[in-house]
Amino acid sequence: MTRYYTEDHEWIDVDGDSATVGITDYAQSQLGDIVFAEVPAPGAELKKGGDAAVVESVKAASDVYAPVSGTVTEGNDALEGDPALVNSDPEGEGWFFKLTLSDTSELDSLMDAAAYKAFVEAL
């Protein structure tokens, strides 16, 4: 499995043409305590860079963008009952949705872990 990152602080774990998407630890730390998360429904068609999910914290509401285009196969229903999972395990159990990639070449524009780390350090 390969993990990529976006400049909007989403991560995507890719395994073949399937992927899992969430927000990074940096993103959740900037948002603060997460009080609500809305995930896309299975079957939703997402476009790279388009709105995919919503996360609300005590500080602000923020969109989660699709790092690549694809069809949602699963939303993380656990976030509905426990949105704080995004704070406690943002890059694990706090994932937002899974999808089937429609164009794997879109991954080429994303960052690897080292590039993302450098990106965050420069902020």
Model confidence pLDDT, tens digit, residues 60-110? 999 999 999 999 999 999 999 999 999 999 999 999 999 999 999 999 999
- What are residue 4's phi and psi, to 5 degrees? -125, 165
Question: For residue 96, how many C-alpha atoms fall within 13 Å in the half-sphere facing its CB?
Answer: 26
> Whole-model pTM above 0.95?
yes
Domains of the chain: 2-104 (2.40.50.100)
% the chain with pLDDT above 90? 98
- Provide the pLDDT for residue 44: 98
Q: What is the pLDDT of residue 3?
A: 98
**pLDDT for 112:** 98
Mean local confidence (pLDDT), 39-43: 98
Burial of 29 (0-12, 13-18, 19+ CB in 10 A): exposed
